[in-house]
Amino acid sequence: MSASSPFLYPNVTSIPGQTEIDRSESRPAKGKEGTGEFDKIFDQVLQPTAAPDLNQIRQPLKFSAHAVQRMNDRKIAMDQKTMTKVNDAIDKAAAKGIEDTLVITSDAAYIVSVKNRTVVTALDRNSVSGNVFTNIDGAVIV
pLDDT of the residue at 39: 80
pLDDT of the residue at 139: 95
pLDDT of the residue at 60: 87
pLDDT of the residue at 62: 94
Contacts 24+ apart (CB under 8 A), 137-140: 137/98, 137/99, 137/100, 137/101, 138/93, 138/96, 138/98, 138/100, 138/101, 138/102, 139/101, 139/102, 139/103, 139/104, 140/89, 140/90, 140/92, 140/93, 140/101, 140/102, 140/103, 140/104
Pick the more confident residue, 134 or 30: 134
Q: What pLDDT digit, counting tens, does each position of 55-112 carry?
A: 446 678 999 999 999 999 999 999 999 999 999 999 999 999 999 999 999 999 999 9
pTM as predicted: 0.60
CATH topology of domain 54-141: YaeB-like fold (3.30.2310)
Mean pLDDT taken over the chain:
80
pLDDT of the residue at 101: 97
Pick the more confident residue, 41 or 110: 110
pLDDT of the residue at 89: 96
